Amino acid sequence: MKLQWWLVECKDQIVTIKLNAPPANTLSVAVLEELDRLVRFLETDDSSKAVILTAQGRHFCAGADIRELAQISTIEQGRTFARRGQGLFNRIEALDKPVVAAISGACVGGGLELAMACHIRIAGHDAFFGLPELDLGIIPGFGGTQRLPRLVGSARAMEMILTGSRLSADEAMAAGLVSDVQLRSELLPRAHVLAESIVRKSRSALRGAMQALRIPCSPPAEEDLEQEASLFATLLQTRDAKEGLLAFIEKRPPRFTDR
């Protein structure tokens, strides 16, 4: 498989996938399309039993490509964009092999939504987490409004989304968003230890456990994701959203007019 934005290594029944889209590892349409191809491969690959999802460079993922978001000109385009991302992240969550996200640096916006679709999340001590979309005049559109409350509780999720506040790695572990915090140099080795422990298990038992574990934490309901996508698409066409996206690109504070 020829890929531009992802590095893939398959060894000892572990597939390691690294996002390589410097400098901030943003989720452009091209990056998401390649990830879709990788997920399709993982859905049918019987040679692997665990996946590690991580990134090259300083940051795990700084979210969607803001310049691409600013080019979305209709509500239907916005809804299509959100639904594609939601569908892709649902398929990651539905994989029958555990996905371990190894996170360093920024894990915000769409990057956090991607991480939340993984089954286990571990963080480097330098990692930080947030959904700052309201600072752009929009809302999370890849399932973040649905998964974050499920993982950290509704009160903490409300605070994070409505204020745009960040969690440090230690705060994320205390909130239940990640299960472990390591020195950055120990992050990937720790992810491999987890994956190696997983692949020693029976494949049928792993699949059974994955199926059973999804019962209390099933993927977001289709109607809730549709509502998120519709709200995301509608807000993307407001004057405040256009101002928020332009302000981000121009590296200045937004001047919202509540329209």
pLDDT in tens, 176-191: 999 999 999 999 999 9
Active site residue 228: no
To which H or E segment does residue 128 belong?
strand 128-130
pLDDT, residue 225, reads 87
Q: How many CB atoms lie within 10 A of CB 40?
A: 12
- Asked about 113 being catalytic, the answer comes back as yes
CA distances from 238 to 47, 70, 165 (A): 47, 11, 23
What percentage of the chain exceeds 70 in pLDDT?
98
Could you tell me the pLDDT band of residue 223, with boundaries at 50, 70 and 90?
confident
* Surface-to-core class of residue 184, CB atoms within 10 Å of its CB (0-12 exposed, 13-18 middle, 19+ buried): middle
pLDDT at 220: 75
Helix (H, G, I), strand (E, B) or coil at 64: strand
Q: Which of 13, 244, 235 is nearest to 140 (CA)?
A: 235
- Which of these is catalytic: 33, 34, 93, 133? 133
Percent of the chain at pLDDT > 90 equals 88
Domains contained in the chain, CATH given: 1-185+199-259 (3.90.226.10)
The Cα–Cα gap between 119 and 49 comes to 13
Residue 218: is its pLDDT beyond 80? no
Can you give the pLDDT at residue 219?
66
Alpha carbons 97 and 62: distance in angstroms, whole number:
26
Instruction: Kindly state the average pLDDT of the residues 82-102.
Output: 96
What was the pLDDT predicted at 73?
A: 93
Active-site pick, 34, 76, 93, 113: 113
φ, ψ of residue 128 to 5 degrees: the values are -145, 155
Q: Say if residues 52 and 195 touch (Cβ distance below 8 Å).
A: yes
